[in-house]
Chain A
Amino acid sequence: MTKIKRRTFVGLAAATTTALSMPSIAFGALPRVVVIGGGAGGATAAKYIAKDSKGAIDVTLVEASKRYYTCFFSNLYLGDFRAYGSIGHNYYGLAVNHGVNMVHEWALSVNNAAKKVNLGSGESISYDKLVISPGIDLKFESVNGYSAEAQSKMPHAWKSGTQVQLLKNQVKGMKKGGTFVMVPPPNPYRCPPGPYERVSMIAHQFKKSNPTAKIVILDPKNKFSKQGLFMEGWQKHYPGMIEWISAETHGGIKKINAATMEFETDLDTFKADAASVVPAQRAGRIAMNAGVNKGDWCPIVPASMQAQADENIYVLGDASIAKSMPKSGFSANSQAKVAANHIRGSLTGSKVFTPRFANTCWSLVATNDGIKVGANYKATAEKIDKTSGFISKTGEDSNLRKATYEESIGWYSGITSDMFS
Chain B
Amino acid sequence: MKSKLVLLSIVFSLIFTNSIFADPKQLVGADANYGEHLFGECVTCHNSTGLGKGIPKITGMKTSQFITKILAYKSKEKENAVMQMVAERLGEEEINSLALYLSKLK
Chain A residues with CB under 8 Å of chain B are: 48, 52, 330, 333-334, 337, 341, 351, 353, 356, 358, 360, 372, 374-376, 387-390, 392, 403, 405-411, 413-415, 417-418, 421
Determine if B84 and A337 form an interchain contact, defined as CB atoms under 8 angstroms apart.
no
Determine if A410 and B41 form an interchain contact, defined as CB atoms under 8 angstroms apart.
no
Taking a contact as CB atoms closer than 8 A, the residue among A358, A374, A410, A415 that contacts B81 in the complex is A374
Determine if A417 and B49 form an interchain contact, defined as CB atoms under 8 angstroms apart.
yes
Determine if B43 and A418 form an interchain contact, defined as CB atoms under 8 angstroms apart.
yes
Determine if B45 and A415 form an interchain contact, defined as CB atoms under 8 angstroms apart.
yes
User: Contacts A333-B44, A356-B89, A415-B45 given: A406-B53 contact, CB under 8 Å?
Assistant: yes
Q: Which of A403, A410, A421 has the most chain B CB within a 10 Å cutoff?
A: A410
Quote the shortest CB–CB distance from B20 to chain A (angstroms).
Answer: 27
Among residues of B, the one whose C-beta sits closest to the C-beta of A341 is: B37
Quote the shortest CB–CB distance from A280 to chain B (angstroms).
Answer: 28
Kindly state the separation between the CA atoms of A52 and B40 in the bound complex, as whole angstroms.
11
Proximity bits, B26-68, A CB within 8 Å = 1, else 0: 0000000110111011011111110111110000000000000
Q: Which residues of B contact A407 (CB under 8 A)?
A: 45, 54-55, 82
Give the interface size class of chain B. 20 to 34
Determine if A389 and B85 form an interchain contact, defined as CB atoms under 8 angstroms apart.
yes
Quote the shortest CB–CB distance from A39 to chain B (angstroms).
Answer: 14
> What are 29 inter-chain pairs, A to B, with CB distance below 8 A?
A52-B36, A330-B44, A334-B41, A334-B44, A353-B37, A356-B38, A356-B41, A356-B89, A358-B44, A358-B85, A360-B45, A374-B82, A374-B85, A376-B86, A376-B89, A387-B89, A390-B85, A403-B54, A407-B45, A407-B54, A410-B45, A410-B54, A410-B55, A413-B47, A413-B52, A413-B55, A414-B45, A415-B45, A421-B49
Quote the shortest CB–CB distance from A86 to chain B (angstroms).
Answer: 13
Q: Which residues of A contact B43 (CB under 8 A)?
A: 414, 417-418
Q: Which residues of A contact B47 (CB under 8 A)?
A: 410, 413-414, 417
User: Contacts A353-B34, A410-B45, A418-B44 given: A390-B81 contact, CB under 8 Å?
Assistant: yes
Proximity bits, B69-106, A CB within 8 Å = 1, else 0: 00000000000011011101100000000000000000
Q: Which residues of A contact B52 (CB under 8 A)?
A: 410, 413-414, 417
Determine if B46 and A388 form an interchain contact, defined as CB atoms under 8 angstroms apart.
no
Determine if A358 and B54 form an interchain contact, defined as CB atoms under 8 angstroms apart.
no
Kindly state the separation between the CA atoms of A408 and B55 in the bound complex, as whole angstroms.
8
